[in-house]
Structure 1
Amino acid sequence: MDLASKVRVIKDFPKPGINFRDITTLLQDAEAFKKTVDALVELCKDMQVDVVACPEARGFVLGAPLAYALGKGVVLLRKPGKLPGRTVCYNYELEYGSDALEVHEGAIQAGQKVLLVDDVLATGGTVAAAVELVKKSGGEVAGIAFLIELLGLGAREKLGDYPVVTLLQLEA
């Protein structure tokens, strides 16, 4: 099955010049979704991790079943104001604006090895924020996994030496 063909491109969203990769069409196809999760499991099964962390919202959709298959817990990285209690926050820039992510204090324990999971690697802003949250929480990023990597935007270079795996590599 050609998973790339299941990803819809929405031109000029959320602003002119952005070609948004909409994975909802892939998620709606049961066979494509299962193949996606199974393929991500295969890419990540040998990584030595204690927990899977995933940013809101599409990261949740991929991170939760991946964590389940790997037998690991899930840490949710949320938009500001969504988590009760004390949080650690990191502000970052996106290709179409700015945003922030938060995680509960103590959700990631000191020394835990963390696998970060998200849907798309574009400019790297979201994953860079996720890396900072893991580090501020005392965790160690053991790997980063994406469904899609958009080529030509230089995001992978911003991730340094972290092991990065992607299921699909598409032109930006």
Structure 2
Amino acid sequence: MKQLQPLFITALLVSLAGCYAPDGGFMPSSGRGYTYISTSMQPLTISVVDVRTEEAFFSMDIPPGQQLTFNFLEGGGDDPIYTPDRMVYAVWVAGEQNGKLDNQLTCPPAADRRIDFDIRPGPVWPEPDAAVRLRTDEAADRPPYATTQGGKIPQKSTLPNDN
């Protein structure tokens, strides 16, 4: 068992090193990936700027309750001088720490890019989920069987999330 202990510890450290978090995760460094979480009170716009031209080659308004996670990969770009690297990114629900960054674009090298973030005016509320029924206590919104006049109770509900 003592021979397997170093293997288990190594496997644990490797699995923790694959996490994305706003604070940098298990072993934070500048090459580990970046996570920006947008909230209703602090909606964010993230831009990645090419400092040679001062133009943003990537910009995104992150919806409230979502996070933008991205990382830069050295090499793999389409131009060895202007865009030699790749940026991979994904938009997830806020708080997600593991997942695949499934979008990519070519980008300038590390010395020629800058990350800007702006806080948009808030509060900005997320769009309501159409699948969730809005509950109110207004008499006009009550079904006939829940009023003082009474009515027939349906056998089975057709509304989502209504048990």
| Structure (1 or 2) with the greater helix fraction | 1
Q: TM-score under structure 2 normalisation?
A: 0.24
Q: Which has the higher strand share?
A: 1
CA radius of gyration, larger in: 2
Normalising by structure 1, what TM-score?
0.23
